[in-house]
């Protein structure tokens, strides 16, 4: 008899995980552990990042468990040492940053992830931030709630560009960036894409984009949004020099990772009036510290790392991990395995 631990939280709920797992594992015993995220922020747990709960909680819950499905549980060396029966650890997020992949491989545990689960939600949030920044939505809302009616926002030098007819530069043409491209093209924007992993032949014929180098994208785009992965090679991908290439009055958006751009350079450009606005969902340090310069820089729109927060995202995560459970129980290889050497060695 297979035993599955559903280690859900207050977003990817255990009830949703169980609902999706039951059809693929009707005979399995399903246990539940509820982790505190997002009521309590995620953070580092031992050697892994962006995790929720404690090693002790997970060790106790994994006793006698074959499969764990989760979003935030910390799969550490210590947890693996204490869980000899574990064979599959399914992470319902785009990357298994909360799992020690090297240790999992040594223990013969396959780790899977859920690419694209929040792509639509993040793309929609990105465009929402573009519009909020260029139409001054947060500032005007705040004025109205304070009882202030400011008609001076209608001055020519106080209004921003429309998406229609503008050039939007998208850095990264993966699951999220490609969706943003289709959405803004629907608004009537011209779309430029910079992505070293995409060539012209690799673009679908229907993709309404022009593939260019990153400096050219920055020079030509009134709106720039970044959707690259955070790696050592992409740290501060949008540097001070590149941000300085943007046309006057541009808008810069980041819903990817805080390490991807030079925030001080953005703040300087806003303080000096070279950019019209900026909008961020991610930051170099999270939660945003009280002394952050972003809190006192004008024309910045901010949300607290929730671009992927939609009900569909939670259901997508559950469906993707349930698919991996079904494949495992049927003796098939996972669709999205982060440590495929486990499969090759037959550990």
What are the residue numbers of the active site? 257, 286, 305
SS (H, E, C) 199-246: CHHHCCCCCCCEECCHHHHHHHCCEEEECCCCCHHHCCCECHHHHCCC
Q: Which residue has the tokens 């005007």?
A: 140
**Cα–Cα distances in angstroms (integers) from residue 5 to residues 91, 145, 179, 198, 261, in the given order:** 12, 46, 34, 39, 38
Q: Which of 270, 268, 271 is nearest to 279 (CA)?
A: 270
Looking only at Cα atoms, what is the longest distance across the chain? 70
Of 23, 124, 112, 37, which is closest to residue 68 (Cα–Cα)? Answer: 112
The Cα-based distances of 188 to 168, 185, 199 in angstroms read 10, 5, 24
186 is written with which tokens? 């629907």
Which contiguous run of DSSP H or E holds residue 139? helix 137-145
| Structural contact between residues 91 and 312, judged by C-beta atoms closer than 8 angstroms | no
Could you tell me the end-to-end alpha-carbon distance of the chain, in angstroms, rounded to an integer?
21
Do residues 177 and 227 touch, judged by C-beta distance below 8 A? yes
90 burial class (0-12, 13-18, 19+ CB within 10 angstroms)? buried
- For residue 86, give the 3-state DSSP assignment: coil
Nearest Cα to Cα of residue 226 among 304, 150, 113, 130? 130
Contact between residue 221 and residue 167 where contact means Cβ atoms under 8 Å apart = yes
Give the residue among 122, 213, 232 at the shortest CA–CA distance from 175: 122
CA dist., res. 296 & res. 108, Å (int): 50
């Amino acid at each position: 008899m297979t035993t599955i631990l559903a280690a859900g939280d207050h977003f990817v709920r255990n009830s949703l995980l169980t609902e999706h797992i039951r059809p693929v594992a009707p005979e399995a015993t399903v246990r539940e552990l509820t982790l505190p995220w997002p009521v309590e922020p995620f953070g580092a747990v031992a050697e892994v990042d962006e995790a929720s709960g404690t090693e002790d909680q997970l060790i106790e819950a994994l006793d006698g468990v074959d499969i764990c499905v989760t979003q935030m549980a910390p799969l550490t060396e210590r947890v693996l040492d204490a869980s000899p029966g574990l064979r599959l650890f399914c992470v319902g997020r785009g990357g298994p940053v909360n799992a020690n992949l090297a240790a999992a491989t040594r223990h013969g545990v396959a780790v899977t992830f859920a690419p694209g689960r929040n792509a639509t939600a993040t793309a929609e949030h990105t465009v929402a931030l573009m519009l909020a920044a260029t139409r001054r939505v947060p500032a005007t809302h705040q004025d109205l709630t304070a009882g202030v009616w400011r008609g001076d926002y209608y001055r020519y030098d106080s209004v921003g560009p429309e998406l229609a007819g503008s050039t939007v530069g998208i850095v990264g043409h993966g699951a999220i960036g490609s969706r943003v491209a289709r959405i803004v093209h629907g608004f009537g924007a011209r779309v430029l894409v910079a992505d070293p992993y995409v060539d012209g032949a690799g673009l679908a014929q229907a993709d309404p984009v022009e593939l260019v180098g990153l400096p050219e994208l920055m020079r030509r785009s009134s709106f720039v949004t970044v959707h690259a992965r955070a790696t050592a090679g992409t740290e501060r991908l949008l540097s001070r020099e590149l941000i300085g290439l943007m046309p006057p009055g541009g808008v810069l958006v980041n819903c990817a990772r805080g390490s991807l751009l030079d925030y001080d350079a953005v703040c300087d450009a806003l303080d000096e009036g070279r950019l019209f606005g900026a909008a961020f969902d991610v930051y170099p340090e999270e939660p945003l510290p009280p002394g952050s310069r972003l809190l006192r820089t004008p024309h910045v729109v901010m949300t607290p790392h929730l671009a992927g927060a939609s009900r569909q995202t939670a259901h997508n995560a559950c469906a993707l991990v349930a698919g991996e459970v079904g494949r495992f129980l049927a003796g098939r290889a996972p669709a999205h395995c982060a440590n495929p050497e486990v499969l090759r060695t037959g550990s």
